[in-house]
Amino acid sequence: VEFLYCDLASMKSIRQFVQQFRAKNCPLHVLVNNAGVMLVPERKTEDGFEEHFGLNYLGHFLLTNLLLDTLKQSGTHSHNARIITVSSATHYVGKLHLNDLQSRCSYSPHGAYAQSKLALVLFTYRLQHLLTANGSHVTANVVDPGVVNTELYKHVFWVVKVVKWMTAWLFFKTPEEGASTTIYAAVSPEVEGAGGCYLYNEERTKSADVAYDEELQRRLWTESCKMVGISDEASRLP
């Protein structure tokens, strides 16, 4: 195991990480996008992005795009490289505000978090479409880990913290249990060659209806490219 530092809230850090990783000339068979914050007060990343959208979504969007060439070179017909992005059931209530992705007009921690998780699902579906169109041996899937007992809940109201402390043993998954579907998506032969899936409890399930809106997927992708400063070559594809 080797550690390389990468701050998903910093576009500069992401680019430096990718440069360091590429210098090692290593293949990349599995990429798991799993960094995130939840219900944080209104604040910005060093690049000026609303933190939920900047860290949870844009950081992973840039990282994945910068590593795509390596992933494509690493995948084969019999063993596809895999991209696993961790979203949340919160995406079901999320709304994507293309005219206000930074939540400047009206900030809600819950709304901003849900939007970032919906964006991850839209991104995954669009990415898989592009990978398929290019004939790449790479698959992209999105995972819902369920309600997991981690420090992600440190910004919730104190009443919720008390309830969580009292009931976590009964209703919350352990971190090990929460990781099971991500591991399944990363290594299971059952999903070899399968992409564009929403996985929950190691099963394919249906995501929010809006996540299947291909026009919304395309528009989010194009806008995301502008925000992180990469070329939108995908805009020329159907």
Give the Cβ contact number of residue 142 at 10 Å: 29
> Do residues 83 and 143 touch, judged by C-beta distance below 8 A?
no
Catalytic center residues: 113
From start to end of 161-222, where are the E strands? 198-200, 203-205
> Do residues 173 and 148 touch, judged by C-beta distance below 8 A?
yes
Angle at 179 between CA 20 and CA 147, to 5 degrees: 125
The residue written with tokens 């604040």 in the block is 43
3-state SS class at 202? coil
